[in-house]
Amino acid sequence: MKIQRRNKANPEFSLAAMTDVILLMLIFFMVTSSAANQSAIDVKLPKTGAVDDNIPNPLTVSIKPDGSYFVDDNPVDKAQLEQMIVNKLTNQTNKSFTIRADENTMHKDVVFVMEIAEKHKFNIAIATVKDK
């Protein structure tokens, strides 16, 4: 006598749930990556007519109009600025940083940071916004 099972196990599974999770993760990472490069220091960047490709640098030095300095959104005293920049770029392969100076910042404050870069042979980029 041959006995047959009525309910056979179906080894197939639905990929719909996994596709939904992957789609949600993709959206999450796209949204967070675009917000990750924004600095919390509020400076009005000078305007420019031509903008080259945006090359990300591992370090950002922000300068406010009152002459206060910030390294990666952390306030730094002028006397300790050079040591802070050198320490942060010591183990980096790309020894460069971005200067984000407010359009009303005094020229001497920007030149001070540029002299640090020249002294240690660091590459610099000056952040601007595209003129409308």
- Enter the pTM of the model: 0.60
Q: What is the CATH number of the domain that holds 117?
A: 3.30.420
Cβ neighbourhood burial of 112 (10 Å; 0-12, 13-18, 19+): middle
What values do phi and psi take at 4, rounded to 5?
-115, 145
pLDDT higher than 90, residue 34: no
- The arithmetic mean of pLDDT across residues 51-73, rounded, is 80
Nearest to 103 by CA among 63, 49, 46: 46
Q: Is residue 87 part of a domain?
A: yes
Q: Looking at residue 48, what is its pLDDT?
A: 63
Q: Is residue 124 part of a domain?
A: yes
What does the pLDDT look like over 121-131, one tens digit per residue? 998 888 877 76
Q: Is residue 118 part of a domain?
A: yes
What does the pLDDT look like over 65-119, one tens digit per residue? 998 999 988 999 999 999 999 998 888 888 889 999 888 888 899 999 999 999 9
